Amino acid sequence: MNRRTFTRASICASLGLTFAPSVMASQNIFKKHQFNLKYAPHIGMFKNLAGDDPIDQLNFMADQGFTAFEDNNMGTRPISLQEKMSAIMQKRGLEMGVFVAYKDFKNPTLAGGKEEARSDFLKQIKASVEVAKRVNAKWFTVVPGTVDLRLAEGYQTVNVVESLKQASSILEPHGLVMVLEPLNWYRNHPGLFLRKSPQAFNICRAVNSSSCKILFDIYHQQIQEGNLIPNIEKCWDEIGYFQIGDNPGRKEPTTGEINYKNILKYIHKRNFNGILGMEHGNSRPDKAGELAVIEAYKFVDSFI
C-alpha cells in the first residue's frame, strides 16, 4: 500500500468508515473535484486530514482539486519555507493568492498623513515585493489603519490616496497588485478607516493604478453593508480579489445566511479569472469537519 492510499485508509478508519481503498474512489470520498472558480484554502484548514507540514497540506489541497492557495502569514515565514512552498505550488498547479503586506488595526497610520507612518508603509510594501517574487504571488493585502478623529474624513481620504499612489509607483514595474480590504465595524474591527465597498471604489479610482484594487471580502461586507451582488456589480471594475466566509460565525459557506451559490454564479458569469480566498474557520474542528468544508464548496460551486 503506497503512502497516499495508506493515508486515505487511515482517514476513513478515523471517521468510522470501513471502505476498502478501491471502494473509496467509487464513493467519491477522495476523488479530485473540478471547481468552476479558483477557491484558495489556507494553512491549517485541513491540518487534521493532511498533517501539520505545510507541504503536505498543499499537496492535499491539490489532490482535492483546489487550484489556488492563500496565506496571510507568508511574509513572516522563513525564506527557506517560502521557497519550498513556492516550489510545491508550482509543481502541483496551485496559484498563490494574497498574503498580508501591511496592516494596522490600532493606529491612524495612513489616514493621519504623518510622514513617518507613510515611510514605514512604503518600506513594508518594498519588502513585500521581494516576498511576492519569491512565492510567485501577484496580490497582497493592505489595511490602511484606523480613522483619525482629529481630521475630517475628506482629509483622511486624501492622505490615504497619496500613500497608495506612492506605493503603486513601486508596484507597477513588477506587475504586482495591492488589494485594499474594507473590514466591518460591527463585529470584528470597529474604528478602521476602510470599511465600505463604495469607499474603497472611490479610493481606487482616485489612485488610478492597475496596482491598487479592492479585496471584496463577502463576509465583512455582508455585515457592514449587505446588498452584496449590487455592490459587487457597482465595484466590479476595481475588484481584484474576493474572500469568502459565511455570516454569522465566519465559517464555510452553507453554515450561515449568505446565498453563496447565487453570488458565485454571478462572479462566474462575469468571467472572473482571479482567486477567491477561503478566509474563514471550519464549523467543526475535526477530520469530518474538514471534509464538510470540501463538500460545502462543491455544493456552492454547482451553479452551472
* Successive 10-residue mean pLDDT values, the chain, 304 residues: 48 47 43 96 97 98 98 98 98 98 97 98 98 98 98 98 98 98 98 98 98 98 98 98 98 98 98 98 97 98 96
Side-chain half-sphere CA neighbours of 186 within 13 A:
11
pLDDT at 17: 44
Segment (H or E) for 124:
helix 115-135
pLDDT at 3: 44
The x, y and z cell numbers of residue 12, run together, are 476513513
Strands in 139-142's sheet, in edge-to-edge order, are 38-40, 275-277, 239-243, 212-217, 177-180, 139-142, 100-102
- Which residue type does 85 have? M
pLDDT at 268: 98
Residue 208 DSSP class: T
207 and 168 Cβ atoms separated by less than 8 Å: yes
* 230 three-state secondary structure: helix
Q: Report the C-alpha gap between 182 and 216 in whole angstroms.
A: 7
pTM of the complete model = 0.91
Q: Report the C-alpha gap between 261 and 265 in whole angstroms.
A: 6
The x, y and z cell numbers of residue 120, run together, are 514605514
With residues binned 3-state (H G I as helix, E B as strand, rest as coil), the percentages for the chain, rounded to 5, are 50, 10, 40
Q: Report the C-alpha gap between 278 and 98 in whole angstroms.
A: 11
- Which residue type does 91 have? K
E strands of 33-138, at which residues?
38-40, 68-69, 95-96, 100-102
